[in-house]
Structure formats: structure tokens, C-alpha cells
Amino acid sequence: MPSGIIPSGYALVAGLSNTGKSSLLNALTKTTISPVAIQPASTRMPITAICTPENAQICFVDTPPIESGYSHPIIDWVDVVVLVADIRTFDTDIEKPSMKQFLRRADKKPIILALGKSDFVKPDHRAAYVAKARYTNLFTGIVPVTPLLGFGISQLMDSVLKNIPLRNRLFPRNINTLNSKRFLVSEQIRTQLFGILPLEVAAETAVQVEETSQRDGSLYVRANLIVSRASSKGMLIGRKGQTLGQINKLSTAAIREFTGEKCRLDLWVKVREAWTENKTDLLEFGYVC
């Protein structure tokens, strides 16, 4: 093999809503780069994480749910597709129109099926689920996984590596993502909203990071929480600022875990009426239109 040639390429992580794509990305790359939320469809823009297992390099790309259609054009330039599916509902999920359309688009690529939430199935039954998925003849490999427990992760990584082409390293060794730090910090904040606010309010609150800088040995972050209705502003702030304080506390901890740095977070609540209905605003705040 020529000097400098290694398995190096891109792997798309795709799946229907609430199948655990972000948890899987984090487990594969041993990071917390993709925030995990309890509500479905928390990923709104592609999040990348670059890992270097042994003498190889893989850039994983986590995408919004298949239903959004956002992952379709990305299929054309990745080397491998990791399709995440709930092991319990795979039979019916594969028949959904959005899934069928996705599989048609990806039929020229190696597709590794990650059967997630496999801890909900008895261990001696998993082989039957794998056999049923193999019967479709759609997948290059099939691996039951439980990301939060680390189950199946090394086997899935091996399966991905077998389908990554040999080429020169795509990125310097010290690069671990293609996303900006500001964007990733905003995602850490946004995810915390869903654990504190009503779902409809959290979903209509954008996070806009105005500044990230170093101050007194800490990462300083100034960010705006932008609501689409004036009536939601008081809900975010809460009585005597308690809700905003809770958001700040949880977000600071999440940013600290993600960056490994001490963090000082300065949050402000602003109103931009009906921004969720304005394409220009959606693009400004980083949403898929």
C-alpha cells in the first residue's frame, strides 16, 4: 500500500425520527458532539464528527430525520450509509414512503443497518431480528446496537471501516468536526430547552450565539434565546428569572462537558414575531427549510 494511503472517507448516519442517531454518532466517535434530546427530531442541521480509529479516518455526518428529505443529497458524496432503525419497529418502518424513497436513493452505496434500542429485545431473540432484516437483501451489514450501553459499537465501526475506500487522509489529525464551535455551542443550549419548557415553546425558540471568547481563563458565551411570540418571553424567563436560570445552569454544564472548558454563559431572551414562518429567519437561525 502506498505511503499515506489509509481507509479514509465519509459515513452518513441517517434514520427516521427518534431512532437514536445522535446517541449513535457520539458512541462511534466517543464524543458528546451531537446533543441528545428526549423529543423526536432534535437534529436540525448536519453535525459532523471525525474519528481516527487505528490507522483510519472517518467523518460521520449526523442528519435531520429521513422524513425531512435533507439527507438525500448528502448520499451522493458519502462513501457509506449507516441507517439507524428501531429494532422493534423495523418491519413497519421500512415500508414507510420516506424510508422507501431514501433506500432507493442510497441503493448504489454500501448500507450498514444499525438496529438500535436492541436492549428492548431479549438477547436470544436478536438473531431472529437480524435474519429478518437480512432477508430484505438491502444491507451490506446488520448490527444490533445500544449506544448508551456501548453494545455493538465496535462491531458497527468494523463494518463501516470495511466499506471505507483507501485514499489519502482527508483532514489533519487535530480536526474533529467540520462544524463551527459557535454552532455546536448553540446546539448544546437549544437541546436543554426541551427538558425545561413545554414542547411547543421549546420548538419555537431559536438560539443565536453572538460571541464566544476567552475571558479570565474561561469560555465566555453570549447567546440570545429568540421566541416567536411575545407571550413566550415570560415563560422562558420565569418567576424572578428562575426558568432562565435553570436553562443557564444546564446549558453551562452541557457546554463544559462538550468543550472541556470552564464556561460562563450570558443568556438573553428576545422576541422576533413569527420567525418560524419566515424563510429568511429560518435560514438565519440555521434551520432546514
198: number of Cβ within 10 Å = 11
**Chain segment 196-212, per-residue pLDDT in tens:** 999 899 989 999 999 99
Position with higher pLDDT, 110 vs 2? 110
Map residue 287 onto helix, strand or coil.
Answer: coil
Extents of the domains making up the chain: 5-168, 181-284
Q: What is the pLDDT at residue 43?
A: 61
Looking up cell 431572551 gives 269
Distance CA 106, CA 75 (A): 6
Distance CA 208, CA 160 (A): 35
For residue 247, give Cα distances in angstroms to 167, 197, 236, 254. Answer: 45, 9, 9, 11
Q: What is the pLDDT at residue 255?
A: 94
For the whole model, what pTM was predicted?
A: 0.88
Average pLDDT over residues 64-86: 90
**Chain segment 272-284, per-residue pLDDT in tens:** 999 989 889 888 8
Of 259, 269, 254, which Cα lies nearest the Cα of 180? 259
**Torsion angle of alpha carbons 238, 240, 243, 245, nearest 10°?**
150
* First-last CA distance in the chain: 44
- The domain 181-284 is placed in CATH, from the list 3.90.980.10, 3.40.630.30, 3.30.2350.10, 3.30.300.20, at 3.30.300.20
Strand-pair category, 80-86 with 57-62: unpaired
Domain 5-168: which topology? Answer: Rossmann fold (3.40.50)
Q: How confident is the model at residue 59 (pLDDT cuts 50, 70, 90)?
A: very high
Which residues neighbour 11 within 8 Å (Cβ) at sequence distance 6 or greater? 58, 59, 60, 61, 78, 79, 80, 81, 82, 160, 164
Cell numbers that stand for 139 in this block: 444491507
Percent of the chain with pLDDT over 90: 75
Whether pLDDT at 289 is above 60:
no
Cell numbers that stand for 278 in this block: 419566515
CA angle, corner 62, sides to 260 and 159, nearest 5?
Answer: 100
